[in-house]
Amino acid sequence: ARRLYKPDLTECFQNTVLVWFPCVYLWLLAPFYALKLYCHDCGCIRISTLCTAKTVSQPIESQYGQRSHEIQNHMVFLLSPIIRSLTVVLAICIIQLERIRGCRSSVFLFLFWVLAVVCSLVPLRAKIQLAMYEGITTDIVRYTAFFSYFSLQLAQLFLCCFADQPPEGKTVLCIIDVPLRLVVKGYRTPLEAGDLWNLREEDTSDKIISDLEEEWTTECAKLQHVGPSNQDVLSVCLFSRQEKTMAAGVALGTRLPDQAQILRKLQKEQSSGFCLLRTLARNFGPYFLTGTMCIIFHDFFMFAIPQVLSLLLGFMNEEDAPLWKGYFYATLMFLLSCLQSLFNHQYMYTCFTVGMRVKTAVMGLVYRKSLVINSASRRTCTVGEIVNLVSADTQKLMDFVVYFNAVWLAPIEIALCLFFLWQHLGPSALAGIATVILIFPLNGFIAKKRSKLQVQMKFMDGRIKLMNEILNGIKILKFYAWEKAFLEQVLGYREKELKALKKSQILYSISIASFNSSTFLIAFAMFGVYVLIDDKNVLDAQKVFVSMALINILKTPLSQLPFAMSTTMQAIVSLKRLGKYLCSEELKDDNVAKAPLSVLIDNGTFSWTKEGPPCLKRINVCVPQGSLVAVVGHVGSGKSSLLSAMLGETEKRSGSVSIKGSVAYVPQQAWIQNATVQDNVMFGREKQKTWYQRVLDACALLPDLEILPAGDSTEIGEKGLNLSGGQKQRVSLARAVYRKADVYLLDDPLSAVDAHVGQHIFDKVIGPKGVLRDKTRVLVTHGMSFLPQADLILVLVDGEITESGSYQELLSRQGAFADFIRMFASNDRKESVTETAAQRGRTSFFFLPFHILTGVCQFLATDCLFVLPQVRLEMYMEYFKTIGMAFIIPIVFLYAFQQGASLAYNYWLSLWADEPIVNGTQVDTDMKLAVYGALGIAIFGTTVAISVGGIIASRHLHMDLLKNVLHSPMSFFETTPSGNLLNRFAKEIDAIDCMIPDGLKMMLGYLFKLMEVCIIVMLATPFAAVVILPLAILYAFVQSFYVATSCQLRRLESVSRSPIYTHFNETVQGASVIRAFGEQHRFIVQANKRVDFNQTSYFPRFVATRWLAVNLEFVGNGVVLAAAILSVMGKDTLSPGIVGLAVSHSLQVTGILSWIVRSWTDVENNIVSVERVKEYADTAKEAVWTVEGSSLPLAWPQTGTIEFQDYGLQYRKGLDWALKGITLKIQEREKVGIVGRTGAGKSSLALGIFRILEAAKGEIYIDGVNIAEIGLHDLRSRITIIPQDPVLFSGSLRMNLDPFDTYTDEEIWSSLELAHLKNFVSNLPDKLNYECSEGGENLSLGQRQLVCLARALLRKTKILVLDEATAAVDLETDTLIQSTIRQQFEDCTVLTIAHRLNTIMDYTRVIVMDKGHISEMDSPTNLISNRGQFYRMCREAGLV
């Protein structure tokens, strides 16, 4: 019987090649692997169960099975087991070496066991066949030995899939096990930040940036030497060759003409980008090259596969070829596919790691730069642009790292494909090249057109900038009823953006369609030419399907090349932008010298920019140690600039500045960090309890801390969101006092606080008896009452010190100062204040307990928490509903039709290939070619439809979002961080615009393609269904695991990304404070921590993606193996054509699977955006803006009477009443002052009149009309407020005064004249069209206040509410405003929420508020004679 049985492969082959192949692999590569382990020591791993199991279960093969006569005849039967046993010993040594060097999982051994198991499959089949043939009992020992050996091999392979425990005290990443654990955990429960593994040391900011910074500094220094330091021409030796020719015409010593200056500047910008690239390449290049090696190996395996396919099809054609050849080719294809996958993903892993490091490096450099950049450079880039450098441009660099290799590899791959095609089809391959050449320029042309359409980005930037301002100034919009004007502006931008997007998407669809049909077009051209040029040219299976496999390979580099090119171009632009910013001018260290005297400026001239006019001229200041210097002057006279000069923030044109010791600085607009009150005050210093309490007491913060829910541990929102102006200023002052510095520079810290609080602070902190009495203090102030106590007063006029001396000296000189004082002294001593805070009465609402605030923020920042599958489905339904069913059904039908045509033309090819050859030719070739062409043409025209549908959806969704946000009440904006809202308008809308339609296009395309492949494989070998079904289930299983985890990792990453930008934003805005306090290092460490935290969640995400891709590709390779082996098995019944069709299609499966997952994950992650945008549809809305068919007369209110009837107000249900039972009637033309302590409810009255808060009980009547029954805009547009914070929007000055264009220029000029701005505006270059910058930053605070007054004068309604509008204005401007209001609003009802008591002493009535109700109300003289609360306030202010 034994003689009769013939195995598929000879016994000799089974005992030599199949045994030796894995052994050779291990012995050859072991020395290199040992060397790698020797170089990378991660610490020793303790002996674990896993390690023991691996060592003990090594398969040692015995010689029992071999009969003695076989061993005598063939030495090989003795040799093979010996080689195997030695190899197993080597494997044990490697396991132990890995344990000692801290390697937790071994890809090297994993591959060895895969090879060993695959090679044992053939003998296994032979043994089973033999046992069935002659019965197992004949040689039971031999069978047992072999089967136990095979089982141990399988066990080793299984054990290799798990990682060992980490080495002592280390967290090391292993590529198979950790992602698996993470993915499983993410599937079961929502992932937390604590579940992620730590960053490896070489990926941390500290490590990366410390290496990079030194190099970049030296590169920068080289760059700076290229350009001349000033405008005079330096000697020619400095010039590079190009510059020499340029300078030849310029006589030395003369000034360089402007053009040359500009040229040099441009050249510096150009070279700065390349310098940055060079620095990055030096640091990350070597590691990147290891990835490049992987991709070269990948290409080698990729091109080997079609050659093996050719051999397999050749084998199918041969009648008497031995079967073992077929199995060998099938297994070889499987192995090559697996190796190709492994190398490809190792390459991607390397690229992403390098990309991540580049991102960290660039972020670090930009952050450090933002701390040292000077004001001139800072003015050229807004905060938004700097944040953009960190977000968008670093992302472009990451893409560049991933796709850069394609730029040079793709052309080589294309050339190789064409070379192999030439071998098969001869010169006809040139037809394919011609087709490629035709398709390519089309795509290039489209790409060029699309890049021109990137103007959409410009509109998007405009829209986001506008949204940012709307969100920041939303309160003003609501007070003025300006929402509609801004809504129109936003929609204007949006329409332009969508128009550009539509064109871009249609072009993109054309390019996708041409790409999808490229396989067909190339094949059609090649086969057509091949068949038509010669009758003897025959298309057989080998030619057709090897060519098809090569064409499929050709598609990848063809699609990558344009993408790689555009990515490279974008990266070059980003590099230039980054280089330009990183090389921009820094503050000079020598601006301020250390000196023996406290503060000394000697003949200083300063400007904000190098070229600009000086802001301070001929300044001579000498401040003795321990003295108090007051700086006074009008708005815009240069007081703040003087302090900036002392800090070294301005350009020093001439003279010298020196300061002794450390400095503390209080800016005019308080800069508050998003941290607790305590952190803001201590600002990085240790807590000294007694000193801390003393500082809080001196700065009058203790009463405020009692109101706060968590005392000094209350978190302050971004930009001090939940503090009033006065509180912010006091926190800012406390931060300086806590410092114990030597010199204090105080920029008007008392303007935003009550007068009695101001007096308290002056006495306890700044004055001669205050905490800082022994320190040197320079105080900018508008408060005249403090001047007599100053040691020295400097009077500034237009940037020059006109007078200086003590109070008495200046009075005796009878100069401008003396007149100034006489004019205001009488008023000023009689001032009292109630603290500036429009939010003041809101305390109860504003200081949300911290856990609620964070709860709100947490909720907003992490909306993609754990989204349930049914919620997912609802989102898809929501999205499709927005597009409309009528659109969707044709789309699906088109896709099905397209794939049907594709299947038909491929099947037609296989029939053609099987056509018998008659007399060396095939019959009817022309007809066959025509049918083939006709079927192929049917592919075009499905992708455009989806794009158009996507745009319809995104237009509706953006519109709804915008309207929902603008219709939200004020309380919504106070609990929702503006960053989150902005994120909806930027990132989420962008995802709906581009990501979702693109993802859907790809996903649908590839899903149908996959169906086509499965149908074809099953047509050829129906038995494949047995393999394909379990693989499909496995695929769905892995996919569902991955998508769940991927969404959460993406969520964690985006949640950890926001703090980076918040911190950046904060730092850029507070850079001068951070520098003054010398806290740069601490902030850099904080930024590093935030970046590292973000990378901690980014890194697992791409490792999980690689994990998934490797698993999927093994599934795909399983399909290849099944198709090939089943074809070999059915050799007798199957034709070569159908085998070629099945195998060449199965080779595409791996690619298709990974694309489906990629596009599916993209859509899954982005579909959340639909929900996040819809989310605000359900939040509370304010009342309607206009009531349809309301009978409100146009001239309402005609008299201006206001009546409160038992009016009550709550900030939220369940909170205390902010106003309770107010009953009050204000007659026409009456002037009413509202006073009261902090939190008494003064501002709440104003909020009630404007219905910013709706009444909880009672009514308000204006001219007899119940205001609750009319539209909000009808109400708000007919009454006027001058708000506390003067907010301007970026746009023309005219737009800021009259956004609806309802007034004529004459009316606007007359209102400017009345607001004392006419001179200022008429001197501006563009007059009324002068562009105000973001937040009106190019006007001084006082000027902004006057613009708000001009707005009120322009509207001129019968009721004016004045909300503490005189906070930061000098007394002269204050008097102007007061007198203007008295004259112009004489016949109107005026309500003033009083700031200085002397401003309301001549009012008809004063209302004294206390804890939400009216405690006193009468004329000022009567109230004083009643000796009540008002009398006490007047007494404190020295008015009685």
The structure tokens listed for 489 are: 């502006």
User: Which residues lie below 8 Å from residue 697, measured CB to CB, with a gap of 6+?
Assistant: 764
Tell me how crowded residue 1016 is: count the other CB atoms within 10 A of its CB: 22
The pLDDT value recorded for residue 617 is 87
From 1361, 1358, 1197, select the one nearest 1282 (Cα to Cα).
1361
**Residue 874 pLDDT:** 76
User: Please, are residues 1415 and 1429 in contact by the beta-carbon 8 Å criterion?
Assistant: yes
Burial 785-804 (b: 16+ CB within 10 A, else e): bbbeebbbbbbbeebebebb
Retrieve residue 691's tokens.
């000193």
Extract the runs of DSSP E, i.e. beta strands, from 918-1002.
none
pLDDT of res. 837: 33
The mean pLDDT of 1111-1120, rounded to a whole number, is: 82
Indicate the Cα dihedral angle 56, 58, 61, 64, nearest 10°.
Answer: 30
Band of residue 13 on the pLDDT scale cut at 50, 70, 90: confident
Q: What is the pLDDT of residues 1316-1357, one digit of tens each?
A: 888 888 887 777 888 777 777 777 777 787 888 888 888 878
Question: By percentage, how much of the chain surpasses pLDDT 70?
Answer: 86
Rounded distance between C-alpha atoms, residue 1109 and residue 1161, angstroms: 12
Cα gap 428→525, rounded to integer Å: 8
In the structure encoding, which two tokens stand for residue 1382, read together? 């008295």
User: Is the pLDDT confidence value at 233 over 50?
Assistant: no
Mean pLDDT (whole number) for 1141-1156 = 81
Q: CA of 1292: how far to CAs of 457, 1296, 1299, 1329, 1336, in Å?
A: 22, 7, 10, 5, 10
If one compares 6 and 350, the residue with the highest pLDDT of the two is 350
Phi and psi of 106, rounded to 5°? -120, 110
pLDDT at 843 over 80: no
Out of 233-242, 371-380, 651-660, which region has the weakest mean confidence (pLDDT)? 233-242
Q: Is the pLDDT of residue 654 over 80?
A: yes
Per-residue pLDDT at 921 exceeds 80: no
Cα angle value 1193/1198/1204 (rounded, 5°)? 100
Does residue 147 surpass a pLDDT of 60? Answer: yes
Instruction: Map residue 836 onto helix, strand or coil.
Output: coil
- The predicted model gives 1189-1212 an average pLDDT of 81
CB 409 within 8 A of CB 299: yes
Q: For the ranges 79-93, 173-187, 1235-1249, which has the lowest average pLDDT?
A: 173-187
Residue 61: predicted pLDDT: 59
Q: Which of 63-67, 315-319, 1369-1373 has the highest mean pLDDT?
A: 315-319
pLDDT at 6: 62
The contacts of residue 1245 (CB under 8 Å, 6+ apart) are 841, 1219, 1222, 1234, 1391, 1393, 1409
pLDDT of residue 179: 64
Exposure b/e, 112-138, CB count within 10 A at least 16 = b: bbbbbbbbbebbeebbeebbeeeeeee
Closest to 282 (Cα-Cα) out of 227, 357, 343: 357
Does residue 943 or residue 468 have the better pLDDT? 468
Q: Is-contact 485 1299, C-beta < 8 A?
A: yes
Residue, of 307 and 228, whose pLDDT is higher = 307
Three-class SS of residue 896? Answer: helix
pLDDT beyond 50 at 960: yes
> How would you label 164-191 residue by residue, b for 16+ Cβ within 10 Å and e otherwise?
bebbeeeebbbbbbbbbebbeebeeeeb
Give how far Cα 720 sits from Cα of 216, 397, 482, 670, 1057, Å: 36, 34, 25, 9, 21
Average per-residue pLDDT for the chain: 78
Closest CA to 267 of 248, 232, 239: 239
| Sequence-distant (≥ 6) Cβ neighbours of residue 1197 within 8 angstroms | 1262, 1263, 1265, 1278, 1279, 1357, 1358, 1359
pLDDT of amino acid 235: 33
Residue 569, strand partner residues: none
Encode pLDDT of 697-720 as tens digits.
Answer: 888 888 888 877 777 787 776 666
d(CA 1409, CA 1240): 6
Complete DSSP assignment for 1344-1400? HHHHHHHHHHHH--SEEEEESTTTT--HHHHHHHHHHHHHHTTTSEEEEE-SSGGGG
- What pLDDT does 864 receive? 40
Pairing type for strands 1359-1363 and 663-666 reads: unpaired
Give pLDDT tens digits for 509-555: 777 777 777 777 888 888 888 888 877 777 777 888 888 888 888 87
Residues whose CB is less than 8 angstroms from the CB of residue 455 and which lie 6 or more positions away in sequence, other chains included = 500
Residues 74 and 143: beta-carbon distance below 8 Å: no
Collapsed DSSP state (helix, strand, coil) of residue 536: coil
Residue 831, amino acid: E
Say what the alpha-carbon torsion angle 1260, 1262, 1268, 1274 is, to the nearest 10 degrees: -150
| Local confidence band at 202 (pLDDT 50, 70, 90 cut-offs) | confident
SS3 of 85-105: HHHHHHHHHHHHHHHHCCCCC
Mean pLDDT value across residues 336-345: 88
Q: Is 1427 exposed, middle or buried (0-12, 13-18, 19+ CB in 10 A)?
A: exposed
Q: What is the largest CA-CA distance in the chain?
A: 134
The region, left, alpha or beta by phi > 0 then psi within -120 to 50, assigned to residue 805 is left
DSSP track, 908-929: HHHHHHHPPPBTTB-S-HHHHH
Residues sharing a CB contact under 8 Å with residue 1413, sequence separation 6 or more, in sequence order: 1219, 1220, 1221, 1222, 1241
Q: How far is CA 240 from CA 243, 247, 510, in A?
A: 5, 10, 47
pLDDT digits 0-9 by tens, 1233-1291: 888 876 677 778 888 888 888 888 888 888 888 888 888 888 888 888 887 777 888 78
1342-1372 burial, b at 16+ Cβ within 10 Å, e below that, comes to bbbbbbbbbbbbbbebbbbbbbbbbbbbbbb
CA distances from 1044 to 579, 869, 1031, 1047 (A): 39, 10, 20, 6
- Report residue 66 as tokens: 């071999």
1362 strand-pairing partners: 1282, 1392
**Among candidate residues 159, 155, 24, the one with its CA nearest the CA of residue 87:** 24
Q: Would you state the structure tokens that stand for residue 1330, as one six-digit string?
A: 């002068």
ω into 709 cis (within 30 of 0): no
pLDDT band at 254 (very low <50, low <70, confident <90, very high): very low
In this predicted structure, the answer to whether residue 849 has a pLDDT above a threshold of 60 is no
The bridge status of strand 651-659 relative to strand 599-607 is antiparallel
User: Residue 1312, CB half-sphere, CA atoms under 13 Å: how many?
Assistant: 23
pLDDT for residue 1084: 92
**pLDDT, position 455:** 59
**In this structure, what token pair is assigned to residue 833?**
């204040």
Please state, in angstroms and rounded to a whole number, the distance separating the CA atoms of residues 1417 and 1214: 29
pLDDT of residue 239: 35
Half-sphere exposure of 749 (CA within 13 A, CB side): 33
Read out DSSP for 312-340? HHHHHH-SS--HHHHHHHHHHHHHHHHHH
Instruction: Report the sign of the C-alpha dihedral through residues 1138, 1144, 1147, 1153, in that order.
Output: negative
* Type of residue at 1221: G
Pairing of strands 1291-1292, 1331-1332: antiparallel
More confident residue, 461 or 412: 412
Query: Backbone phi, then psi, for 1261, in 5-degree steps?
Result: -115, 130
Determine which of 8-12, 792-796, 1050-1054 has the lowest per-residue pLDDT on average: 8-12
Strand 776-780 vs strand 743-747: parallel, antiparallel, or unpaired? parallel
- Report yes or no on whether pTM surpasses 0.85: no
Q: Reduced to 3 states, what is the DSSP secondary structure of residue 502?
A: helix
Q: What are phi and psi of 67, to 5 degrees?
A: -75, 150
Neighbour-count burial for 603-623, b at 16+ CB within 10 Å, e otherwise: ebbbbbbeeeebbbbebebeb
- Beta bridge partners of residue 1359, listed in sequence order: 1389
